[in-house]
Structure 1
Amino acid sequence: MTEFKDNEVEMREFRLRVTVLGALVFVCFFLLLARFVWLQVIQHETFAVKAEENRISLVPVVPNRGLILDRNGVVLASNYSAYTLEITPSKLEASLDDTINQLSRLVEIDVRDRRRFKKLLDDAKGFESVPLRTRLSDEEVARFTAQHFRFPGVEVQARLFRQYPLGETASHVIGYIGRVSRAEADALDDSDDAANYRGTDHIGKEGLEKSYEKLLHGQTGYEEVEKTSGGRAVRTLSRTPPKPGSNLILSIDIELQKIVEEAFGKRRGAFVAIEPETGDILAYVSRPGYDPNLFVDGIDTQSWDELNNSPDRPMINRPLSGTYAPGSTFKPFMALAALELGKRTPSQVTYDPGYFVLGNHRFNDDVVGGHGSVDMRKSIIVSCNTYYYALGNDMGIQAIHDFMQPFGFGEKTGIDLENEKTGVLPSPEWKRRRFKGAAGRWVGGDTISVSNGSGLNAYTPLQIAHAVANLANNGVVMKPHLVKMVEDSTSRARKLTVAQQSYRIPLKQENIDFVKNAMVGVTSEPGGTAYRVFGNAGYTIGGKTGTAQVVSIKKGEKYNAAKLAERLRDNALFTAFAPVDKPRIVLAMVVENAGMGGAEAAPITRKALDYYLLGKRPSEKDKGNVELQDKEDANAPAR
């Protein structure tokens, strides 16, 4: 049976479907139109700004780091530009090792470069570029550029590098810069200087490079760069130039520095010379030193281990953080204290039989049989221990402590370097804090040892030099400093870092003059402990030798350097100022484990003063004479 279709019904269904579909199309078109209006009209300004931001990038322009120069204009730290080969690990397509091996066929990459790269990589973020090779030659740059397409994630960058032309000379003064570590980067991001350090790869790590970082760094500039959607730079729209860092004009005389460093040879120790009237540090020696250029590109593990594990500890800044007993260099201050406090007169005599007895303990002088009758002047010239044992016992520890403190003993000098040690000016209160129970009780023997410059005394060479400068300057205290002036790199305007005295120690001039005169006798009179070194100096110098024990000798035994390991022998010290009538230079030094101050420390001082006061440089003949003199003085009563 034939079935007839209901066309009317089908038409209604068709029209319904067309209507629904048309409505759906209309709704979609309306939504698109609404979205278009939303984006193009209502949000036009917002997206226009974002488009502009994507089109234009702000690129930081790192400023030139300020120079460091000595007082006479000799450049100690400068900058130079060079190409570096850098890898961004997150952008590599091949493995890191394969990439480096492939690169080594184009550019020379030695074992040290690989070690340094791995050390830097451990401290870097994955998206940061890490230098593999620095200071590429033009030929190496050309070879890599021709094959650049094979190495995604590897770039050649033009960078500014720090250079220390004199290498190891004054390394503990200048310090060094190094690549910004992850911890330092995080700290900078949280600081007020975050914007100023955008694009900066290096930062001061030690010495003046660290303590004057903000001044040396300068002000970062910016470029507005137009780029394509792919990130390729098209043109520079505007530029805010960077402001170079300030230059540091040091108080150091680098020629004096070199002479002292050479005079030390392979010996360990410290030397600080100060101009007492200004507080300018003329020489600041810590031996041994290190080459700061090793750190600029990032030091490799082997070199770092060699420096860190050396028994000579070249990374220790000895004038700043090495603490030593001052030995007999403490005696002039004890004599001045006795005069100021009325405990002794210049003519008052103490008999020295070769020892001093306190209770059941006997404190020996270093001269068997003693010095006989000793007044104050003789006590300084011949360095009589017994005189100061008795004086210290009469004065008491609290009086000693209170008198010495204003001179800077046991106090930070405030020098413009970080991590200065305080040292120890002992007192009963200090000992109670330092030791527990009965060990913290102050006893008479402690006072006897302190009065002679040994025992619990522990000062940095910088503190000792500062104290002598205060004495030579008649009680006027100037803050010691290494940077004499800060120079604006653009205007060349200069500003003094220390313009006036810190304070004045109230002292009687006749007492100061007496002590100074006695110190002149140390170097100019037969019997003086430094007479053999300075007897024909050609200028008047006040000085004091010192010898300080490193380890205690058992009761009843006599000190014999030959029977001790080299690093257990006494330290040799010397302090001086010259010319006496108007001192231009004051110094303090220590030669570790060298023995007697007159034999080992004083000859180094002679070379320094000959140059600074007379312009005389050591010749080969002079070196031979000093070596012979050292041998002769080894058995002399130099203390």
Structure 2
Amino acid sequence: MREALALKDHRSESQIYVERAATGAVVVLVLFSLLILRVGYLQTVQYSDSVARSEKNRVQVVARPPVRGLILDRQGVLLADNRPSRNLEVIPEQIVNMEDTLFHLATVLEMSEEETARFRRLSGRTTRRFESAPVLFDLSDEQVARFEANRFRFPGLSVQAKLVRNYPQGALMAHAVGSVRRINDRDAASLNATAYASTDHIGKLGVERFYETELLGQVGYDRVEANARGRMMRVLDGVKPINGQNLTLYLDAGLQAAADRALDGRRGAVVAIDPKTGGILALLSRPAYDPNLFVQGISHQNYNALRTSMDAPLFNRAIQGQYQPGSTLKPFIGLIALGGSTVTVSDSIEDPGWYQLPGNERLYRDWNWTKTNDGGHGRVNIEKALYRSCNVYFYDLAVRLGIDRLSQDLKQFGFGQASVLDLPDANAGLLPSRAWKRATRKLPWYPGDTVNLGIGHGDILVTPLQMAAAVAALANRGRWVAPRMAQNQSFEDAARSSPSGAGQLPEHVWEPIIGGMEKVVHRGNQIYGENGTAWSYIGRDIEYRMAGKSGTAQVVAIEQGEVYEASIIEERK
């Protein structure tokens, strides 16, 4: 028998549908209620915070760097200014794959291996991932054109025009003015981030370093409106930056060039100081380098060439080179002796060409001693001892004064201390004493050490700047004016850095010493052995009066009896 067909229960299905619809309506009502509550919460409780977030996303604060102050010489000649540069800058956060971007960019701009490595290094080093950071510098017109034609391929990259430091005088003023360098990680860790916002350089050497605060200026900012892609649409408001102060130095570019010509390509240093002001008129170290190489970052090849050169062009001989002063120290020893009545102007000794300490067999010979045991200057007083640079006289004078007196009184002229006001890298030299030798060499001070000190040899070391400052104090008859580079600057520590005591020497001591120094230059046309030591190569060719002191210091050690080829000695000068 066939089974009966089951009939559809429409009533049950309708009941189920109604129940489900009711449940869905309740759920929708609950969700809608929650949405209303959330909107109400956002519009009431969190309204201010939401507005602030929206404003922050729409409005950006962009730093405006100040223009670095100019540096000029006393005549208004530009020593440091600023030039425009087009740099490629990156915002790391906007780049998905830095290596892929770099690969295509290197092809478009035909970047060298060093430029590629530098891009990789700088883009990875920046800690400001949301801010623009420079990675390629001084783009050419062709590079800018190529990049702009392919800009759509490089989100996060842009060409920005900025002012960068420029040194019109090049190597001539390198060691006098100093230079700026790009801010590195070590600099950034210690700098005020706000003060250096959007600033890529900092003074590293010389007056650029010492006057960093004055030259830098104060950063400004713009509040700009940006679209959804981060592109700036308009400037809302802002604060203008305050440009750095211009700095006028005592330096004279013409005098600096004349000093350079006088060195004629040889290694050496020239320092000229105005005794009245302490202003440094010339500060030259040769060989030198072009500071413009360092502004945007020097290449490894160029830096290695400078660093390994036998000429040491990176070394500032004028303020860091420490040398035996040789006979240029003799006027100061003479002043100390006259001031303490150790000798008088009329006192004299017999110079046979050599000096011998009592009970000692060693002979300390004069500079004019010959192999035939001939030499000496005959009867010598302090004036003749200066213009003939008589070693025997100053051997004897130093022993009579003693090391304690010498080491104490030579401080009066700035020896053994860095007293220049605004050159932070200047060395202090070395003024030896009993205590110094005992502490550094564990040895006593010997009488022979004093003999050597009498002619500026032995352990004493001075910089060319120190010697120029000491001579300026001598020209001032003992009035010390601390050396300085910049005009119209106040120095709170000027008194602390100034030696004292030279001005307390009796008035009668100055003229005999200065008179002897005049004869060093101008005493000529005398019988053999009576001319001033500088007359033949300076005094007879000038029409003006000057005073000076010749001196020879040993900078290349040659053992007694040792033979050197002339070419090797010339190479090591």
SS of structure 1 residue aligned to 2:307 = helix
Residue matched to 2:312: 313
User: Per the alignment, do residues 564 and 336 of structure 1 end up closer, same or farther by CA in structure 2, a change over 3 Å counting?
Assistant: farther
CA–CA separation in structure 1 for the residues paired with 2:182 and 2:494: 37
SS of structure 1 residue aligned to 2:487 = strand
Shift of 1:115: 6.9
Residue matched to 1:548: 553
Residue matched to 2:427: 421
Residue matched to 2:570: 566
Does 1:515 find its partner at 2:520?
Answer: no
Residue matched to 1:213: 212
Structure 1, residues 214-257: CA drift from partner, whole Å, max 9, x if none? 11111111111011222121111113111110001010010000
Equivalent positions of 1:587-598 (< 5 A) are 593=573
Q: Read off the aligned partner of 2:205 and give its amino acid letter.
A: E
User: Per the alignment, do residues 349 and 413 of structure 1 end up closer, same or farther by CA in structure 2, a change over 3 Å counting?
Assistant: same
SS of structure 1 residue aligned to 2:460 = coil
Q: In the alignment, which of 461, 464, 469 is matched to residue 461 of structure 1?
A: 464
CA–CA separation in structure 1 for the residues paired with 2:493 and 2:542: 33
Q: Is the 8 A contact 1:423 1:460 kept in 2?
A: yes
Residue matched to 1:634: none
Shift of 1:471: 0.8
Q: Is the 8 A contact 1:523 1:542 kept in 2?
A: yes
Shift of 1:153: 3.7
Q: Read off the aligned partner of 1:397 and give its amino acid letter.
A: I
User: Per the alignment, do residues 335 and 21 of structure 1 end up closer, same or farther by CA in structure 2, a change over 3 Å counting?
Assistant: same
CA–CA separation in structure 1 for the residues paired with 2:411 and 2:361: 31
Residue matched to 1:173: 176
Does 1:99 find its partner at 2:104?
Answer: yes
Q: Read off the aligned partner of 1:41 and give its amino acid letter.
A: T
Does 1:402 find its partner at 2:405?
Answer: no
Residue matched to 2:244: 245
Residue matched to 2:366: 365
Residue matched to 1:528: 532
Does 1:475 find its partner at 2:478?
Answer: yes
Q: Read off the aligned partner of 2:423 and give its amino acid letter.
A: L
Equivalent positions of 1:220-231 (< 5 A) are 220-231=219-230
Does 1:132 find its partner at 2:130?
Answer: no
Residue matched to 1:354: 353
Q: Is the 8 A contact 2:421 2:494 kept in 1?
A: no
Residue matched to 1:637: none
Shift of 1:144: 3.0
Shift of 1:466: 0.7
- Name structure 2 gaps, 5 residues minimum: 370-374, 525-530
- Name structure 1 gaps, 5 residues minimum: 486-494, 569-592, 594-639
Shift of 1:45: 1.1
Does 1:444 find its partner at 2:447?
Answer: yes
CA–CA separation in structure 1 for the residues paired with 2:82 and 2:517: 46
Q: In terms of mean alpha carbon deviation, does 291-300 or 150-159 score higher? A: 150-159
Q: Is the 8 A contact 1:330 1:453 kept in 2?
A: yes
Q: Read off the aligned partner of 1:180 and give its amino acid letter.
A: I
Q: In the alignment, which of 417, 423, 435 is matched to residue 411 of structure 1?
A: 417
Structure 1, residues 534-557: CA drift from partner, whole Å, max 9, x if none? 1342211111000112355546x4
Report percent identity of matched pairs.
38
Shift of 1:165: 1.3
Q: In the alignment, which of 157, 160, 167 is matched to residue 157 of structure 1?
A: 160
Q: Read off the aligned partner of 1:99 and give its amino acid letter.
A: H
Q: Is the 8 A contact 1:124 1:181 kept in 2?
A: no
Residue matched to 1:572: none
Q: In terms of mean alpha carbon deviation, does 244-253 or 19-28 score higher? A: 19-28
SS of structure 1 residue aligned to 2:322 = coil
More strand by share: 1
User: Per the alignment, do residues 475 and 567 of structure 1 end up closer, same or farther by CA in structure 2, a change over 3 Å counting?
Assistant: farther
SS of structure 2 residue aligned to 1:360 = coil
User: Per the alignment, do residues 264 and 119 of structure 1 end up closer, same or farther by CA in structure 2, a change over 3 Å counting?
Assistant: farther
Residue matched to 1:145: 148
CA–CA separation in structure 2 for the residues paired with 1:279 and 1:11: 109
User: Per the alignment, do residues 110 and 19 of structure 1 end up closer, same or farther by CA in structure 2, a change over 3 Å counting?
Assistant: closer
CA–CA separation in structure 1 for the residues paired with 2:216 and 2:326: 42
Q: Read off the aligned partner of 2:426 and give its amino acid letter.
A: E
Q: Read off the aligned partner of 1:329 and give its amino acid letter.
A: T
User: Per the alignment, do residues 96 and 145 of structure 1 end up closer, same or farther by CA in structure 2, a change over 3 Å counting?
Assistant: closer
User: Per the alignment, do residues 534 and 114 of structure 1 end up closer, same or farther by CA in structure 2, a change over 3 Å counting?
Assistant: farther
Structure 1, residues 279-321: CA drift from partner, whole Å, max 9, x if none? 0100000101111111122111101111111111101111111
SS of structure 2 residue aligned to 1:284 = strand
Structure 1, residues 42-69: CA drift from partner, whole Å, max 9, x if none? 1111211221122111111111111111
Q: In terms of mean alpha carbon deviation, does 148-157 or 215-224 score higher? A: 148-157
Q: In the alignment, which of 383, 386, 399 is matched to residue 393 of structure 1?
A: 399
CA–CA separation in structure 2 for the residues paired with 1:384 and 1:81: 58
SS of structure 2 residue aligned to 1:545 = coil
- Kindly report the root-mean-square deviation, in angstroms, between the aligned alpha carbons of the 2 structures: 2.9
Q: Is the 8 A contact 1:87 1:132 kept in 2?
A: no
Residue matched to 1:41: 44
User: Per the alignment, do residues 10 and 118 of structure 1 end up closer, same or farther by CA in structure 2, a change over 3 Å counting?
Assistant: closer
CA–CA separation in structure 2 for the residues paired with 1:397 and 1:263: 37
Q: Read off the aligned partner of 1:275 and give its amino acid letter.
A: D
SS of structure 2 residue aligned to 1:290 = coil
Q: Read off the aligned partner of 1:525 and give its amino acid letter.
A: R
SS of structure 2 residue aligned to 1:95 = helix
User: Per the alignment, do residues 147 and 10 of structure 1 end up closer, same or farther by CA in structure 2, a change over 3 Å counting?
Assistant: closer
**When the two structures are aligned, how many residues end up with a matched partner?**
548
Shift of 1:95: 2.7
Residue matched to 2:185: 182
Residue matched to 1:55: 58
CA–CA separation in structure 2 for the residues paired with 1:44 and 1:212: 49
Q: Read off the aligned partner of 2:507 and give its amino acid letter.
A: Q
Residue matched to 1:204: 203
User: Per the alignment, do residues 20 and 441 of structure 1 end up closer, same or farther by CA in structure 2, a change over 3 Å counting?
Assistant: farther
Shift of 1:88: 5.4
Residue matched to 1:300: 299
CA–CA separation in structure 1 for the residues paired with 2:367 and 2:82: 54
CA–CA separation in structure 2 for the residues paired with 1:304 and 1:278: 37
SS of structure 1 residue aligned to 2:552 = strand
